[in-house]
Amino acid sequence: MIKYLLRQALSWLIRIFLAVNLTFFIATWFLNPASNYAERRPPLSPAQIQAMLKPWNLSTDVPLLSRWWTWLSGILFHWNWGNSPVGASVNVQVGFRVMVSAQLMLGATLVAFVIGIALGVYSASRQYKVSDRVVQFISIIGLNTSVVVVSLFVVLVAVQINRAVGTRIFYVTGASSTGVTGVWNILVDKAQHLILPSICLVFITFASYAMMQRMLLLDNIAADYVRLARSKGLRAPVAIRRHALRTSMIPVMVQLAYSLPGVFTGAAITENIFAWNGMGKYFVDTIYKNDIYGAVAVAAFASLMTGIGAMLSDVFVVFLDPRVRVS
């Protein structure tokens, strides 16, 4: 079992490595750091621009493969992810942003997963009743609404609530306020900032879990082994929880792994709307500023998140599925 998980982890590391390298070549091909200097007054000659980019390993005078090796060896041997076209270290930029995004993405994913499973079980055990229909209806809306619309709508509502109450309950910009002291105050302040973007991300992700869980549980409730458990005298909720739910949760776990790229896209949008200084905002900034190494670092972060999601779902599957545990 440990061997299986290690093998999975290794294959993910290889995939992340390849993905990051592919992004390096795509970014080098399509982003042009020299254009940042095009509007300088007085105008700079192309040779001058290249000379300015050279110390940051961005000069096109240096052969592509040589630049690639400088970049890769920097990461592998010195954990140095390169510099932006104006020389800011990517390590520093990413360092404080990673935690901001990771807590938003992983927190929202976890909450969405728990809510999704709970709603799936709830509506499956009330099939075709009003409550089931309502859950289904909300799920369809959540699954098919653009995160842009959800986020802007949440901002509108939050502003209205703030206005109606007269104090600022929800913050629509930033990840935290400056100058807050005391453990309790910091926690409250964090929650006030975190809640809105989290609601947006949860709303667009919970529905796929809820609908999948409902469908799978309905298949399993009708299965022979659940009927056997009921006929032995187990009450329906216990039979569902111990027998039907356990098996039907496995595919939902697998789904978790493949949902993280979508969460990353969602986080990119919400961070821009709520002005969070996380990886999602950095992602947009780096592309606008032709910051090749910054964009590559964002790619590494996104694939790492996908890999972590996949590994988490593997661990859960091992835990839930005896067939995987034994072989």
Partner 1 sequence: MTALAIDGTTPGPAVTAPPEKAQAGSSRMRLYVRRFLRNKPAVGGLVGFVLLVAFALAGGAATTWHYTDIDLLALTAPPGGTHIFGTNNVGGDIYAQVVHGLGRTLIIALSVSAVTLVIAAFLGGLAAYVGGKPQTVILGIINFLLACPAFLMMAIVAQKTGGNWVMLIVVLTLFGWMIMARVVWQMSTSIREREYVWAARYMGVPGPMVVLRHIVPNIGSLLVVQFILGIVSTVIQETALSFLGFGIKIPDVSLGSLLTNGQQTLATMPWAFYFPAGTLTLLTISVALMADGIRDALDPNSAAGGRA
Q: Are 217 and 251 in contact (CB under 8 A)?
A: no
- Region from 47-55, 67-75, 112-120, 260-268 binding partner 1, contact rule CB under 8 A: 260-268
Please give the Cα distance from 49 to 59 (Å, whole number): 8
In the bound state with partner 1, the residue whose beta carbon lies nearer, of 74 and 261, is: 261
Among 69, 96, 225, 288, interactor with partner 1 by CB under 8 A? 288
SS3 107: helix
157 binds partner 1 (CB under 8 A): no
- Region from 105-113, 115-123, 267-275, 314-322 binding partner 1, contact rule CB under 8 A: 267-275
294 binds partner 1 (CB under 8 A): no
Cβ-Cβ contacts under 8 Å for 94 (sequence gap 6 or more): 81, 279, 282, 294, 297, 301
168 binds partner 1 (CB under 8 A): no
In the bound state with partner 1, the residue whose beta carbon lies nearer, of 147 and 239, is: 147
Among 60, 265, 277, 321, interactor with partner 1 by CB under 8 A? 265
Task: For tokens 């709307």, name the residue.
Answer: 273
Task: For tokens 């593997």, name the residue.
Answer: 314
Task: For tokens 């080098």, name the residue.
Answer: 28
Please give the Cα distance from 279 to 181 (Å, whole number): 26
192 binds partner 1 (CB under 8 A): no
Please give the Cα distance from 134 to 83 (Å, whole number): 51
58 binds partner 1 (CB under 8 A): no
110 binds partner 1 (CB under 8 A): no
Site for partner 1 in 20-49 (CB under 8 A): 22-23, 26-27, 30-31
In the shown chain, the binding pattern of residues 298 to 317 toward partner 1, with x for contact by CB under 8 A and - for none, equals xx--xx--xx----------
In the bound state with partner 1, the residue whose beta carbon lies nearer, of 147 and 226, is: 147
SS3 240: helix
Please give the Cα distance from 228 to 233 (Å, whole number): 9
Q: Are 276 and 104 in contact (CB under 8 A)?
A: yes
Cβ-Cβ contacts under 8 Å for 271 (sequence gap 6 or more): 101, 104, 197, 277, 278, 279, 280, 281
Contacts with partner 1 by CB under 8 A lie at 12, 15-16, 18-19, 22-23, 26-27, 30-31, 140-141, 143-149, 152-153, 155-156, 159, 258, 261, 264-265, 268-269, 272-273, 283-284, 287-288, 295, 298-299, 302-303, 306-307
